[in-house]
Amino acid sequence: MIVYYDSVQKSRPTQNKRARERARQEKQKDKAARRQEAKSRKSMNPEARGGEDPDIAGIVPGPQPNPWGDEPEAEPDSDNDE
């Protein structure tokens, strides 16, 4: 006995696969457009290139002053008082 199944069963995964592929291609196009826009935006803003990092601008190497100011100031040593 030979049993033939309808091809309706096979068409659904193919349609899902095509929909996934279309969604993937659309996502790739969106990403490419975003990359191109970011690239053109960076080229239009020359001051951002080669400059100092704004997060660390103005930081001096070495000990930093206390931002709260609660440490007592170091008094100058005067050996002449004795």
Burial 35-68, CB ≥16 within 10 A → b, else e: eeeeeeeeeeeeeeeeeeeeeeeeeeeeeeeeee
The whole-number pLDDT of residue 26 equals 98
Longest alpha-carbon distance in the chain: 120
What's the CA angle centered on 78, arms 73 and 82, to 5 degrees? 135
Q: What is the pLDDT of residues 12-68, one digit of tens each?
A: 788 899 999 999 999 999 999 999 999 998 888 766 556 778 888 878 888 877 878
The alpha carbons of the chain give a radius of gyration, in whole angstroms, of 34
Would you state the pLDDT for residue 19? 94
User: What confidence tier does 11 reach under pLDDT thresholds 50, 70, 90?
Assistant: low
In the numeric block, which tokens belong to residue 3?
């049993």
